[in-house]
Each structure stands twice: as C-alpha cells, then as structure tokens.
C-alpha cells in the first residue's frame, strides 16, 4: 500500500522547471499544459533549442559541436554498442542550471552563489532508476550551493507506484518524458 507523501518532509516547492528538448511526444506537452492549469508552483519552460535540429545540423544551440544522443552502433566485428549520451546534460541540465542561477537567484555569469545559500532541487527519479540518481549525486558534490532531493526514491516508489498514486488524481494517462527518437525507448 502506498503512503501519501509527507508534506513536512517534502515541503511545497517554489518553482518547477521543464527543460524542453522540443522533441517530446505530444502527450507530454498536453500533460504539461494540464499541469500549468493546476494550483501548483509556477512551471518555467526553458529550452536549449530543438535537439533534433541540432542533431541534423551537427551543431548544438550555441553553434558548437552537437549534443550526442546515445545512438546504437555496430563495430567492425559486428559488436553492437552505444555512443555516449550528452543530451541530458546539454539539453536539460544546462537549461535548468541557467534558469536557477540567472533567473531565480539573479546572478550574473561567473558570479558565485552567496555563502550559505542552499537550493534544493527535487528530481522525479523513481527507484527504477536509482543508479541514475546515485550518478547524479556525485555531480552535485562539486556544487556546495545545491542539494539534490529524490523524494520518490526516499519513499521507495517505482514508476508503477507513481502511476498508481496518480491514477485517480489525473484525468489522463501520465506520459513518460523522453524524446521521440530516444534510443533508450528501443533500438
């Protein structure tokens, strides 16, 4: 049986940031619009550009090298592999970090976060992806001003648990966010 999230442990958040690759399925954008109409925190939609265009043109949103997606490859001896993934970092994490630093904290480029300020970032990563959360925690160790929070993992929830919790609270099926061409969906 699922327990209700504890409001004392997980207080209301000030803002939600949706880092838009502009390549999500239509159901994700419909869900985003529904969320915006709810009485929740303001949802800031930010983008580093259309990821698909960047891949086609071989350039990122700033004109530099392109953000690689984890594409399937076949080596000279028939061995199947996958290229490194940088799309999450470049298309999502950078957009969120810029929004936090420049818009929410009002910092200028290269300006330090004031001593003692802590930003708690809540991530909707479930137990199904606990390894992903552990890798992310290591990246945050370098940033003393931000603390990652993983409420779904702390509550022991899987994606299936989340869907069960939302079933009678959301009037439509809650889609999973992933670019339409993401190879992690299938090869």
User: What is the tens place of the pLDDT at every residue in 108-134?
Assistant: 999 999 999 999 999 989 999 888 888
Domain count, the chain: 2
Task: Give ∠ CA 48-87-157 in degrees, rounded to 5.
Answer: 105
Whether residues 29 and 90 fall in one domain: yes
pLDDT of 57 higher than 80: no
pLDDT of 71 over the 80 cut = no
pTM metric for this prediction:
0.83
93 falls within a domain: yes
Per residue in 140-167, is it b (16+ CB within 10 Å) or e — as a string? eeeeebbebebbbbebebebebbeebee
Q: What is the pLDDT of residue 46?
A: 96
Residue 31 and residue 103 in one domain: yes
Confirm whether 47 is domain-assigned: yes
Residues paired with 65 in a beta bridge:
59
What's the pLDDT tens digit per position in 152-173?
999 999 999 999 999 999 999 9
Task: Check whether residue 33 and residue 117 sit in a common domain.
Answer: no
Residues 150, 58, single domain; the answer is no
Mean per-residue pLDDT for 88-102? Answer: 88
Instruction: Indicate whether 90 and 180 sit together in one domain.
Output: yes
Q: According to the model, what pLDDT value does residue 66 have?
A: 63
Give yes or no: residues 105 and 118 share one domain: no
Q: Are residues 105 and 119 in the same domain?
A: no
Residue 6 belongs to a domain? no
- Domain with 61, as residue range(s), is 15-110+173-187
Cβ atoms of residues 37 and 120 within 8 Å? no
Both 64 and 44 in one domain: the answer is yes
Q: What is the pLDDT of residue 112?
A: 93
16-43 tens-digit pLDDT: 999 999 999 999 999 999 999 998 999 9
Virtual CA dihedral for 173, 176, 179, 182, nearest 10 degrees?
A: -120
pLDDT at 61 over 70: no
For residues 178 and 22, is the Cβ–Cβ distance under 8 A?
no
Residues 96 and 186 placed together within one structural domain of the fold: yes
If asked whether residues 101 and 27 sit together in one domain, one would say yes
Residue 10 pLDDT greater than 70, yes or no: no
Asked if 184 and 130 sit in the same domain, the reply is no
How many residues are present in the chain? Answer: 187
d(CA 7, CA 137): 23
pLDDT of the residue at 109:
93
What does the pLDDT read at residue 181? 82
Asked if residue 2 belongs to a domain, the reply is no
| Residues 41, 68 share a domain | yes
């Amino acid at each position: 049986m699922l327990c209700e999230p504890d409001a004392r442990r997980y207080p209301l958040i000030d803002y939600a940031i949706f880092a838009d690759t502009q390549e999500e399925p239509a159901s994700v954008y419909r869900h985003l619009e529904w969320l915006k109409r709810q009485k929740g925190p303001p949802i800031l939609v930010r983008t580093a550009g259309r990821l698909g265009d960047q891949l086609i043109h071989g350039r990122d949103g700033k004109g530099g090298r392109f953000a690689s997606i984890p594409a399937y490859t076949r080596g000279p001896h028939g061995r199947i592999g996958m290229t490194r993934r940088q799309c999450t970092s470049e298309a999502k994490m950078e957009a969120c970090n810029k929004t936090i630093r420049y818009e929410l904290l009002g910092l200028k480029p290269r300006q330090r976060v004031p001593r003692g300020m802590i930003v708690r970032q809540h991530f909707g990563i479930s137990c199904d992806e606990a390894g992903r959360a552990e890798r992310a925690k290591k990246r945050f160790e370098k940033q003393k001003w931000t603390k990652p929070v993983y409420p779904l993992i702390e509550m022991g929830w899987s994606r299936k648990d989340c869907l069960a919790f939302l079933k009678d609270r959301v009037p439509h099926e809650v889609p999973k966010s992933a670019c339409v061409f993401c190879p992690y969906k299938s090869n």
